[in-house]
Amino acid sequence: MDSDNLKAMLKQVQSGQMDLDTALHQLKKLPFEDIGYAKVDTHRCVRNGVPEVIYCEGKTIPQIQGIVEILSQHHCNILATRAGREVFDGIRQVTEDSEYHEMARIVVVKPRSLEKVGNIAVICAGTSDIPVGEEAAVTAEALGNQVNRLYDVGVAGIHRLLGVCDDLFRANVAVVVAGMEGALASVVGGLVSCPVIGVPTSVGYGASFGGIAALLSMLNSCASGVSVVNIDNGFGAGYQSSLINKIAVKGGAGELASDAHESEHKFKVAKGS
């Protein structure tokens, strides 16, 4: 749909010849912008509520710059993931209006402050898992979610996790990031009433097989309510947790809070407090 056709459609809406739902349906099908090496989906935000995310690994700096140049004409808070410092420097040549989260390896292009809603807990087993945890946390924050970071609370010292149970019970969704044997997802799943997203990481010694051991452990979790994303996929977990959190805020936050309070009470009874 070119500009003339778009204007004609908007005039139809203005005059009452077309209803808003029909117009929105047509807008959702608007074409992408073809720049040869990429077909940039400039209207993904209309359909999904979030602009197209740029996965930077495997792309050249000029390719990333070209995609950023187009997306930045339409959107704010554009995420460029798996971005090294050289990618950030390249993006800044296109737009200075960007910020780099080095630990998360994420560039946010045209960052704008959003009202942070709900409560997402990002839980990391060990310090080595934090980069993947930060990828999840920064993603969720950029999408307008309140994030509570609970780091270095792995099962090797379970008392550290029990010490932050109050924070766990307040979450609408928990993102659990762990390598080695990946046991933390099951433990958290056994404590909370909210959905748990397990993120296996490639952290571990030889028999962890680059995260496969943690992945299989999380997939075989005996705790109910645990779902799993791919190895080291902090972005995917952050995005999914945002969807869950927004639904909770929209329609069921009170119910979740009540469930969390009940879980907290049961846990304290179990401890004998």
User: What pLDDT score does 143 carry?
Assistant: 92
Q: In 3D, which of 199, 63, 204 has the Cα closest to residue 122?
A: 199
Amino acid at 183: A
Summarize pLDDT for 222-270 with one digit per residue, the tens. 898 899 999 999 999 999 999 999 999 888 644 444 455 554 554 454 4
One-letter identity of residue 115? E
CB 172 within 8 A of CB 118: yes
Pairing relationship of beta strands 173-178 and 117-124 according to DSSP bridges: parallel
- In the prediction, which pLDDT does 255 show? 47
- What distance in Å separates the CA atoms of residue 212 and residue 201, rounded to the nearest whole number? 8
Domains of the chain, earliest start first = 31-109 (no CATH), 117-271 (3.40.50.1970)
Q: Point out the residues of the chain with pLDDT beneath 70.
A: 1-6, 28-30, 252-273
Strands 39-40 and 33-34: antiparallel
Buried b (16+ CB within 10 A) or exposed e, 47-71: eeebbbbbebeebeeebbbbbbebb
d(CA 183, CA 203): 13
Provide CB contacts within 8 A for 77, sequence distance 6+. 51, 108, 109, 110, 111, 112, 114, 142, 143
Q: Assign 117 to helix, strand or coil.
A: strand
From CA 273, how far away is CA 77, in angstroms rounded? Answer: 45
Distance of CA 108 to the CA centre of its chain: 13
Question: Torsions phi, psi of 54, nearest 5?
Answer: -95, 115
> 94 burial class (0-12, 13-18, 19+ CB within 10 angstroms)?
middle
Give the C-alpha separation, 158 to 163, whole Å. Answer: 9
Contact 35, 70 (CB under 8 A): yes
Read off the amino acid at residue 18: M
- Is residue 200 a contact partner of residue 99, using CB atoms and an 8 Å limit? no
Q: Which residues contact 257 (CB under 8 A, 6 or more apart)?
A: 170
Judge if pTM exceeds 0.85: no
What is the structure's pLDDT at 195?
95
Predicted local distance difference test score (pLDDT) of residue 118? 92
